[in-house]
Amino acid sequence: MGAMETINSPANARLRALVRLRRRRDRDAAGVTLVDGVEETSLALRSGARMREAYWCPDLDDGRAAPLLDALSERGVPLVQLSRVAFEKVAYREGPDGMLAVLEAPGAPLSSFDPASPEFLLLAEHVEKPGNLGAILRTADAAGVDGVIAADPVTDWGNPNVVRGSKGAVFSVPVVSAGSEETLDWLRARSIALVAATPDTDVLHTDADLTGPIAIAVGAEKEGLSPQMLDDADIRVRIPMVGHVDSLNVATSAAILLYEAVRQRARRHD
């Protein structure tokens, strides 16, 4: 690894611009997002994310960044060395490990998403909390979904807390956005069954057939899926609950439904 630019002052104009990327309007204007962490940056790089530049603090590096630094150098990604105080200015997570990267923002319009045979999708409608959306993406990656659609999204895919919560999976899973009506039209045009999670049905998620081309839909943390989404659903399923609370965390619900589909689909191929 050759010589690199060094920035020591947290008041540096370049670093102030990085801090502004925590705001959605600035991310949207620049078309980029931030990835904080060695593991997350490594996954993004392996997943083909386009990196604009990276920042490294040797004082915070415990040695795990060496392979990543080599990979960044090999790909010609501009690398800037920061002092500890400068890095702590731009890092957005607690306990930073000395790696921060600027990448082209993930996500695209649904109209640009046209996989050859989409059979296993997740649809998240109106999900607000970046941490929940990030956790959903980690599960989607592990379950092997073909893509995740944000319908009428509240949070952008490039939100740094989505990136952080997903552990970088936002770059390994195809992610797109659209309005709910456009999403429903897109699914109907491809004969993909919409499976809606709701407590207002007698059909348990384990009793529904989840082996065909499906899009499992989960809704906002407070309101659940919209009436429009529920009305258009081909299958409504509920997760049994016997306690006193009346709802599950949306990321938990998504994980339960996705892995029931994984279980059924694995049995289909046995």
Distance CA 206, CA 103 (A): 40
Give residue for tokens 């990196």: 51
What are the backbone angles phi and psi of residue 105, rounded to the nearest 5°?
Answer: -65, 140
DSSP 186-244: HHHHTTPEEEEE-SS-S-BTTTS--SSSEEEEE-BTTTBS-HHHHHH-SEEEB----SS
CATH number among 3.40.50.1100, 3.40.1280.10, 3.40.190.10, 3.40.50.300, domain 108-269:
3.40.1280.10
| Yes or no: domain 5-104 corresponds to CATH 3.30.1330.30 | yes
Q: pLDDT tens digits, residue range 177-219? A: 999 999 999 999 999 999 999 999 999 999 999 999 999 999 9
pLDDT confidence of residue 242: 76
* DSSP code at position 50: -
Q: pLDDT tens digits, residue range 84-140? A: 999 999 998 888 999 999 999 999 999 999 887 789 999 999 999 999 999 999 999
Fold agreement (5-104, 108-269): no
* DSSP code at position 55: E
Mean pLDDT of 67-79: 94
Q: pLDDT tens digits, residue range 147-174? A: 999 999 999 999 988 988 998 899 999 9
Q: Residue 258 is encoded by which pair of tokens?
A: 């996705």
> Which residue, among 68, 65, 47, 46, has the nearest Cα to 57 in the 3D structure?
65
Collapsing DSSP to helix, strand or coil, 26 comes out as helix
Q: Containing H/E element for 43?
A: helix 38-46
pLDDT confidence of residue 223: 85
Asked if residues 42 and 117 have their Cβ atoms less than 8 Å apart, the reply is: no
The pairing of strands 79-82 and 5-7 is: parallel
Q: Residue 107 is encoded by which pair of tokens?
A: 């996500």
Domain range annotation of the chain: 5-104, 108-269
Distance CA 246, CA 15 (A): 45
Asked if residues 35 and 161 have their Cβ atoms less than 8 Å apart, the reply is: no
pTM score, whole prediction: 0.87
